[in-house]
Amino acid sequence: AQAFGSLVGERTTILSMQNGIDNPEKLGRLWGERRTLAGVVYIGAQIESPGVIAYSNGGKIVFGPLDGDPNEATEAVERVLSAAGIPCELSRNIRKVQWAKLLWNASFCAISCLARANVNQIVESEGLTQLALDCMSEVRAAASTRGIELRHSLFDETIAFSRGLGDFKPSMLQDLEARKPLEYEAFNGIVIKLLTQTGQSAPINQSFYALLQHLDKKLCEEAQR
């Protein structure tokens, strides 16, 4: 983030669309919260080969200011995205939107890697679906430590949404197959961190984290051979 400091002027607005709950906050501390927006991207796509992206579904950006109070800058970003034909939605509660997406990422990304399963295979398995729901319970508890209350019905809605994704491979499974670094820190590590800080346990996410960390280490070792 510091590398593009020369590109940031007094009127620059920064929209973070990276995975991870705390990335916008890190940018906000560096460049100022009022100019930093958090964004969540909903799109199904896979890299088939260098320079070739296979689109499968979705295609929407939900974004908003960290303090929930839209201003001239957020409205300008909305106009730019809309003018470019990019579906977007300005949210007054972007933090809750981020956590709602983490319900899916923390569970489905981890399970897909560890079971080598696409989304359809996960939701068709009673055991893997229950494992995803157990993971979501821990994510919900972690969100609560930040003052974000996720309704329990989001669990069933997330599973129902996933049934419509078919054979889609979550991004972290795509990374695993491409021998790239895995995002378990952003998806599962943050859940463990927040629950541990408040004296709570996160056995599902801790198991996911340990196994994915081992896989990631093996990938690094193989890449260095």
Q: 2 pLDDT exceeds 80?
A: no
Q: How confident is the model at residue 104 (pLDDT cuts 50, 70, 90)?
A: very high
Kindly state the average pLDDT of the residues 133-138.
Answer: 98
Q: With bands split at pLDDT 50, 70 and 90, how would you rate the model's confidence at 137?
A: very high
pLDDT tens-digit readout, 152-183: 999 999 999 999 999 999 999 999 998 999 99
Question: What is the predicted pLDDT for the residue at 58?
Answer: 76
Q: At what angle do helices 126-145 and 190-197 cross, to 10 degrees?
A: 50
Query: Which structural domains are found in the chain, ordered by start?
Result: 2-92 (3.40.50.720), 95-223 (1.10.1040.10)
In Å, how far are 60, 72, 73, 92 from 85, measured between CA atoms?
10, 20, 19, 22
Beta strands 36-49; 14-16: pairing state? parallel
Reduced to 3 states (helix: H, G, I; strand: E, B; else coil), residue 53 is strand
pLDDT-based confidence at 43, cuts 50/70/90?
confident
